[in-house]
Amino acid sequence: MLERTARELSDLLARCEISAETLTQAFLQAIRQRDPQVRAFLHVDEDAALEQARSVDARRRRGESLGSLAGVPVAIKDLICVRGQPATCASKMLQTFRPPYDAHVIERLRQADAVLLGRTNMDEFAMGSSTENSAFQTTRNPWDLERIPGGSSGGSAAAVAACETPLALGSDTGGSIRQPAALCGVVGMKPSYGRVSRYGLIAFASSLDQIGPFGHDVADAALLFDAVAGHDPRDSTSVNRPAPICRQTFDRDIEPLALGVVREHFDAGLDSEVERAVREAIRVYERLGAKIVEVSLPHAKYAVATYYLVATAEASSNLARYDGVHFGHRSREHSDLIDMYCRSRGEGFGPEVKRRIMLGTHALSSGYKDAYYLKALKVRRLIHDDYARAFGQCDAILGPTSPTPAFKIGERGNDPLAMYLADIYTIGANLAGIPGISIPCGFTRSGLPVGLQLLAAPFEEEKLFRIARTFERATDWHTRRPRFVS
Name the residues annotated as catalytic.
Answer: 77, 152, 176
Q: Please, are residues 446 and 274 in contact by the beta-carbon 8 Å criterion?
A: no
Rounded to the nearest 5 percent, the helix, strand and coil shares of the chain are 45, 15, 45
CA distance 373 to 357: 14
At residue 155's C-alpha, the angle toward residues 152 and 157, to 5°, is 90
CA distance 93 to 462: 39
Residue type for position 17: E
CA distance 196 to 39: 28
DSSP output for 4-47:
S-HHHHHHHHHTTSS-HHHHHHHHHHHHHHHHHHH--EEEE-HH
Q: Please, are residues 110 and 65 in contact by the beta-carbon 8 Å criterion?
A: no
Q: Please, are residues 242 and 209 in contact by the beta-carbon 8 Å criterion?
A: no
At 222, phi and psi to the nearest 5? -65, -40
Distance of CA 253 to the CA centre of its chain: 26
By DSSP bridging, strand 73-77 and strand 167-171 are parallel
Q: Specify the 3-state DSSP secondary structure of 216.
A: coil
- Those residues whose C-beta lies under 8 Å from the C-beta of residue 82, and which sit 6 or more positions away, are 76, 99, 102, 103, 106, 116, 119
Dihedral angle, C-alpha 448, 150, 174, 441, nearest 10 °: 20
At 184, phi and psi to the nearest 5? -105, 0
Residue type for position 261: V
At residue 158's C-alpha, the angle toward residues 477 and 69, to 5°, is 80
